[in-house]
């Protein structure tokens, strides 16, 4: 018997497992799979390994390739949505009335539209996340969970995972052949390639790439790998928080952005995707940056293109066709990844969605307009939330989606300080996309790597940063 590719002799030998875990933890440290500790989140004097799976997890090869092939199409789709103010206005009209965070973002979007965008260079670094859905007959299909258009993380750390798993599997003779099957994967270099292309187009060798970062920076090494790729290209990088930009940031007469006296070519958002990231000063800073000549990654339109309400609207008949006229193959590739999406807008259609969710809450997910993991609502909690808001416009802050039913595999999840035990696990596959548009010309559009995150079946939601999922590699089957 095997557990997701792990031979039984490995799972049955407690001493071998302990030895493997020790080798794996050392390999993680050796290869730089690092995070700062919870006790000292802003200090690099004490670090530990990022949480990761002891063995790579099985992923159907055809579905893995499907995710990678679809990513350039999703890049194009996000870019086209971001440039369609009428679409965004119509889709988000109900949401911005009840969701203050989305409303504040949309207010900035309107302000920039009224002034007229200052920058014709657009940079998108995103990640489309999927799970493998299994139907009642055992058939499997790839279904999208969401697309992250701001602060899509772990491109740096996951670039180190292939070497960690190769190291571990080479330690066990029976797994040696599988070690050769671990795919090369370096999204850090691919994401940096997009940043570098946009920086070159900006046209000033003295201008910097500014990482806009959080107050608490446990995941700093994920950033550092991308920074390092930029430094290799002699592209200067600075790291600043909202507060620092508020104190030292300004626009000149040409709307060039300066922070601490340095001209900023690109603002790369690794913060700013959740309401708690903002103070009133932060909102002022966001508006200033969006009004500037600096390239924003993402710009405000691209940020809004990643909202759950837009995701739900795209699943409606005819909507994808409006963004890909005369491209039926592109429409089919994208739509094949969609799970069922249902509106909660006021009216008969929204009322039917509420009734459907209350009747069978276990087959749906209720999703607010939030990023960052840990925000979705499941099971009996769906009933609690909908019973409270079903009669009012507050329900339009959410969408409803079919719950994906993946088949569990088994693995050992290594976290600092936790005992070694076999878990039934679920995995989530992400495809990283990078694109650069200059005016009407798409000068770069690529899938630049992948991310696999695995968690125990006992958790419904939450990622690596939330302490639920761990980093992993796909073993194609």
If you average pLDDT over every residue of the chain, what do you get?
Answer: 94
pLDDT confidence of residue 1: 31
H/E element, 445 = strand 441-456
348 in a structural domain: no
The residues pairing with 453 across neighbouring beta strands, listed in sequence order, are 428, 471
Largest Cα span, the chain: 70
Query: Distance (Å, rounded) from C-alpha 51 to C-alpha 25?
Result: 9
Tokens of 168: 């571990």
308 in a structural domain: yes
Given a cut of 50, whether residue 241 has pLDDT beyond it is yes
Residues whose CB falls within 8 Å of the CB of residue 86, separated by 6 or more in sequence, listed in order? none
Between 257-261, 348-352, 393-397, 459-463, the lowest mean confidence (pLDDT) is in 459-463
350 in a structural domain: no
In degrees rounded to 5, what are phi and psi of residue 138? Answer: 90, 0
> Would you say 356 and 342 are in contact if contact means Cβ atoms under 8 Å apart?
yes
pLDDT confidence of residue 4: 56
Q: Provide the 3-class DSSP secondary structure of residue 443.
A: strand
Given a cut of 70, whether residue 173 has pLDDT beyond it is no
Query: Distance (Å, rounded) from C-alpha 189 to C-alpha 186?
Result: 6
359 in a structural domain: no
321 in a structural domain: yes
385 in a structural domain: no
How many structural domains is the chain composed of?
1
Mean pLDDT of 65-77: 98
Q: Which residues are part of a known binding site for Mg(2+)?
A: 146, 148, 371
Structural domain range at position 75: 2-339+404-476
Read off the pLDDT of residues 439-457 as tens digits, 9 standing for 90 and up. Answer: 999 999 999 999 999 999 9
Given a cut of 60, whether residue 138 has pLDDT beyond it is yes
Q: Which residues are part of a known binding site?
A: 127, 146, 148, 150-153, 217-219, 270-273, 308, 367-376, 378, 401-404, 428, 453, 455, 461, 464-465
Given a cut of 50, whether residue 226 has pLDDT beyond it is yes
Mean pLDDT of 189-206: 98
Angle at 191 (CA atoms; ends 186, 194), nearest 5 degrees: 135
Nearest C-alpha neighbor of 304 from the set 67, 72, 87, 70: 87
144 in a structural domain: yes
409 in a structural domain: yes
Q: Which residues are part of a known binding site for substrate?
A: 127, 150-153, 217-219, 270-273, 453, 464-465
Would you please indicate which residues are annotated as catalytic (active-site) residues?
Answer: 127, 146, 148, 153, 308, 367, 371-372, 453
């Amino acid at each position: 018997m095997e557990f997701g590719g792990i031979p039984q002799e490995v799972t049955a030998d407690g001493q071998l497992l302990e030895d493997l875990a020790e080798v794996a933890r050392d390999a993680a440290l050796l290869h730089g799979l690092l995070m700062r500790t919870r006790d000292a989140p802003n200090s690099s004097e004490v670090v530990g390994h990022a949480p990761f799976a002891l063995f790579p997890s099985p992923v159907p090869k055809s579905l893995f390739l499907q995710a990678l092939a679809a990513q350039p199409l999703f890049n194009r789709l996000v870019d086209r949505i971001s440039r369609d103010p009428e679409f965004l206005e119509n889709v988000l009209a109900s949401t911005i009335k009840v969701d203050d965070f989305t409303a504040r973002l949309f207010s900035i979007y309107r302000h920039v539209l009224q002034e007229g965008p200052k920058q014709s260079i657009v940079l998108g670094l995103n990640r489309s996340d999927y799970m493998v859905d299994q139907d009642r007959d055992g058939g499997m299909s790839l279904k999208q969970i969401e697309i992250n258009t701001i602060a899509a993380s772990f491109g740096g750390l996951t670039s180190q995972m292939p070497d960690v798993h190769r190291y571990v599997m080479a330690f066990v003779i029976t797994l040696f052949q599988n070690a050769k099957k671990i795919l090369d994967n370096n999204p850090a270099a691919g994401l940096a390639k997009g940043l570098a292309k946009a920086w070159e187009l900006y046209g000033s060798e003295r201008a910097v790439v500014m990482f806009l970062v959080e107050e608490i920076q446990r995941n700093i090494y994920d950033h550092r790998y991308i920074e390092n790729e930029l430094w290799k290209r002699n592209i200067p990088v600075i790291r600043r928080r909202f507060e620092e930009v508020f104190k030292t940031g300004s626009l000149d007469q040409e709307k060039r952005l300066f922070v601490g006296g340095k001209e900023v070519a690109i603002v790369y958002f690794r913060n700013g995707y959740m309401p708690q990231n903002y103070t009133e000063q932060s909102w002022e800073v966001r508006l200033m940056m969006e009004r500037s000549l600096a390239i924003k990654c993402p710009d405000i339109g691209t940020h809004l293109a990643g909202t759950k309400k837009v995701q739900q609207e795209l699943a409606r008949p005819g909507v994808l066709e409006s963004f890909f006229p005369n491209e039926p193959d592109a429409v089919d590739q994208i739509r094949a990844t969609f799970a069922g999406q249902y509106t909660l807008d006021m009216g008969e259609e929204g009322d039917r969605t509420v009734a459907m969710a209350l009747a069978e809450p276990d087959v749906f997910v209720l999703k607010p307009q939030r990023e960052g993991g840990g925000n979705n609502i499941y099971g009996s909690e769906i009933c609690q939330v909908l019973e409270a808001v079903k009669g009012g416009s507050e329900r339009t802050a959410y969408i409803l989606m079919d719950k994906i039913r993946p088949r569990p595999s088994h693995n050992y999840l290594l976290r600092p300080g936790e005992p070694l035990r076999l878990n039934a696990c679920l995995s989530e596959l992400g495809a990283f996309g990078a694109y650069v548009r200059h005016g009407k010309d798409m000068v770069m559009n690529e899938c630049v790597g992948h991310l696999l995150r695995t968690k125990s079946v006992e958790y419904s939601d939450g990622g690596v940063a939330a302490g639920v999922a761990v980093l992993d590699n796909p073993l194609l089957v």
